[in-house]
Chain A
Amino acid sequence: MKTPKRLLVLLPALVLGVMACRKDDPEPPTTTTPPDTHQPPPYDPTPYALVLPANLPPMAIPPDNPLTVAGVRLGRYLFYEERLSGNDLMSCATCHAPALAFTDGHAVSTGIDGIAGTRSAMPLMNLGYAHFFFWDGRAITLEQQILQPVPNPVEMHQSWPATMAKLQADTAYTDLFHAAFNTTTVDSLLVAKAIAQFLRTLVTGNSDFDKAVRFEGVMTPEAQQGYQLFQLEGGAVGQIIPVAGSTPVVGQGGADCFHCHSVGGNLFTDEQFHNNALDASPTDPGRGGVTGDPYDFAKFKTPTLRNIMLTAPYMHDGRFATIDAVLDHYNDGGHASLTVDPFMKFTDPEEQLGLTPEKRQQIKAFLNALTDMEFVTNPAFQDPGPP
């Protein structure tokens, strides 16, 4: 009979099989993964109450990205998140450090592959008021701007899909995304929205200048003199300043700063593009590289002068290491070129803006009065650590 023989063969196999299923085994063999019991925190659309200093204009928040507590919190983590870069070593804050008014102290920034860029890291403050981003204004929303450095090969050099995969694998982040956007799916647009929300909270308006404007304090007499100079046309009082091809204009004894660094709205930028006479033969197309218009060549966005004493080196390419070098440039008048701004009236080597040592000191005192230490040390803006 063949059956007992077969049973003899099958029995040990059955015993082995049963033993394989005994209770002290770690897990019974199964073909399906256990159900994920992790529940993300609830979606929390609580609005973020952005408090603006009384002397700053109202800020227009895009209706498709309102500020929420959860969104700003997520954006802050992402701003300091090094996994946004290809080697997990560089975050937005690497080039935009709070102590330096969100710049990096370098003439131009260097990416993860050791490749230097061509332009200086712009300071990040009062960005909710801007309508152009980057030195050449190639992004017209903050969200658009944020999408660019991550995949840029000379910056963070990581594709957005790779970035999203890293964040998606971290439950802490999927929780934060759910709280902020009601989804656990990480998406580059949501990353940009969250960081934009955080950046819009970086409001500076508590410098000595601001406090003086709001009658909460006073600037030093030297800074007040500097403010006067800031607001006046250049050249010595009564100085006849030649205008190429035309009749001369008369100097007012000021420093000529206000044309571009408009005090209107207390933002210290006119949000326009200018060629401030840095080169006789400019090589960086600046705004012209965006518009294709030859008359936009070598024009760059006017940066704010708020916290300017913390953001050296200066200009779009960081060519001036100190504020004194900047004042030297404006005092000498720079170099004429096709697109040089009409307000750069002293490009003739024979002419000067006329900043005496005393005036320079007063202007620097005023620029110091634009430093807002409460802004750069604000705990809400610092690295929150891992999520």
Chain B
Amino acid sequence: MNIRPFLLAGLAAVALLSACHKGSAVDPEGQGAVRLSVIPVWNGAPFDRMQVYLNAADQREQIQLVKFYLARMTLVAPDVEHELFDADLFNITNGPETRILPVPAGDYQQLRFGLGLPPDLNHTDIATVPVNDPLGNNSGMYWTWATMYRFLLFEGRFDNDPQATGLLPFQFSWHTGLDTLYRERDLPLALEVPAGDTVDLPLYVDLARFTTDGADTLSFADIAQFHGEVQSLPLGIRIADLEQGAFCTP
């Protein structure tokens, strides 16, 4: 039996398969898009800003503002990375915020981003930025005393009595910022972006995890106000670490 045709066919198949290996997962010729949705949840369930939740510190909590920068949002394939945006501002107080972003077609296995602004952006001269830009004055995110940006505004009301009813008597206001509190996150992903198509890329933010990761729990009774004060920085670091852990992909 002449096996030469089979050998040739086999070699051709190997060559074809090689062309499809993971190192070539991104097709630079084909353009697709992702629909990035940053979605607030509370312990995995849809978040409702009008609802009073019981947090891990056994406090009644109602969230009134969740607004933050995400930076260097990057899709990672085995041999290539594609940055979706440099920095953008998300306000998810009233529900998900979505961006449709072009991306080369391919198979992406990781989502990498920063919570806050990396130092090179954090030290932007705000007077040079158009006011309606995410980094402009109208973002309401600039810390004039630090001449840097706030990374995250997390505000609301709370009650130390978990059994109480009615209006929540106290306010909390956690504002992170300063280069020290910039955090990066890598999340696993299984995202195939076909050429000419737009695929969903949900990014969940579990607001219940802003105060706990299971091991570490922060109580508003310990710190209701954080605005970058040096004496409170150890608490600020815990806040930033917890916020970092609150992000997840499906």
* Contact, CB under 8 Å: B158 / A245: yes
The contact of A57 among B129, B172, B225, by CB within 8 Å, is B129
A56 proximal to B (CB < 8 A)? yes
CA distance A256 to B226 in the complex (A): 15
* Contact, CB under 8 Å: B221 / A245: yes
A225 proximal to B (CB < 8 A)? no
Residue of A245, A262, A269 most packed against chain B (CB within 10 A): A245
* Contact, CB under 8 Å: B130 / A57: yes
* Contact, CB under 8 Å: B64 / A57: no
A86-94, A193-201, A246-254: which one contacts chain B?
A: A246-254
CA distance A59 to B222 in the complex (A): 43
A129 proximal to B (CB < 8 A)? yes
List residues of chain B with CB within 8 A of the CB of A295.
Answer: 64
* Shortest Cβ distance from residue A347 to the other chain B in the assembled complex, whole angstroms: 10
A189 proximal to B (CB < 8 A)? no
* Contact, CB under 8 Å: B224 / A265: no
* Contact, CB under 8 Å: A247 / B144: no
* Contact, CB under 8 Å: B131 / A243: no
* Contact, CB under 8 Å: B131 / A129: yes
Interface string of B207-250 (1 = CB under 8 A from A): 00000000000001111110101011000000000000000000
A271, closest chain B residue (CB)? B138
* Contact, CB under 8 Å: A246 / B224: yes
Interface string of B190-222 (1 = CB under 8 A from A): 000000000000000000000000000000111
CA distance A265 to B127 in the complex (A): 4
Are A246 and B172 CB-contacts (below 8 A) given A262-B137, A265-B137? yes
A296, closest chain B residue (CB)? B64
B6 proximal to A (CB < 8 A)? no
List residues of chain B with CB within 8 A of the CB of A1.
Answer: none
* Contact, CB under 8 Å: B137 / A129: yes
CA distance A246 to B167 in the complex (A): 17
CA distance A55 to B225 in the complex (A): 32
Are A57 and B131 CB-contacts (below 8 A) given A245-B169, A271-B138, A342-B173? yes
List residues of chain A with CB within 8 A of the CB of B170.
Answer: 244-246
* Contact, CB under 8 Å: B223 / A231: no
B46 proximal to A (CB < 8 A)? no
A302, closest chain B residue (CB)? B140
CA distance A345 to B173 in the complex (A): 12
* Shortest Cβ distance from residue A280 to the other chain B in the assembled complex, whole angstroms: 14
Residue of B132, B160, B232 most packed against chain A (CB within 10 A): B132
Are A245 and B137 CB-contacts (below 8 A) given A231-B144, A264-B142? no
A250, closest chain B residue (CB)? B231
A217 proximal to B (CB < 8 A)? no
A338 proximal to B (CB < 8 A)? yes
List residues of chain A with CB within 8 A of the CB of B167.
Answer: 338
CA distance A131 to B132 in the complex (A): 8
* Contact, CB under 8 Å: B231 / A342: no
Interface residues of B in 117-140 (CB under 8 A from A): 126-132, 136-138, 140
B107 proximal to A (CB < 8 A)? no
Interface residues of A in 231-279 (CB under 8 A from B): 231-233, 243-247, 249-250, 258, 262-267, 269-272
B231, closest chain A residue (CB)? A250
* Shortest Cβ distance from residue B146 to the other chain A in the assembled complex, whole angstroms: 10
A–B pairs, 27, beta carbons within 8 Å = A56-B127, A57-B137, A58-B129, A58-B130, A129-B137, A129-B138, A130-B138, A231-B145, A243-B225, A244-B170, A244-B224, A245-B221, A246-B170, A246-B220, A246-B223, A247-B221, A247-B222, A258-B144, A264-B126, A264-B137, A264-B142, A264-B144, A265-B136, A267-B131, A271-B138, A338-B167, A342-B225
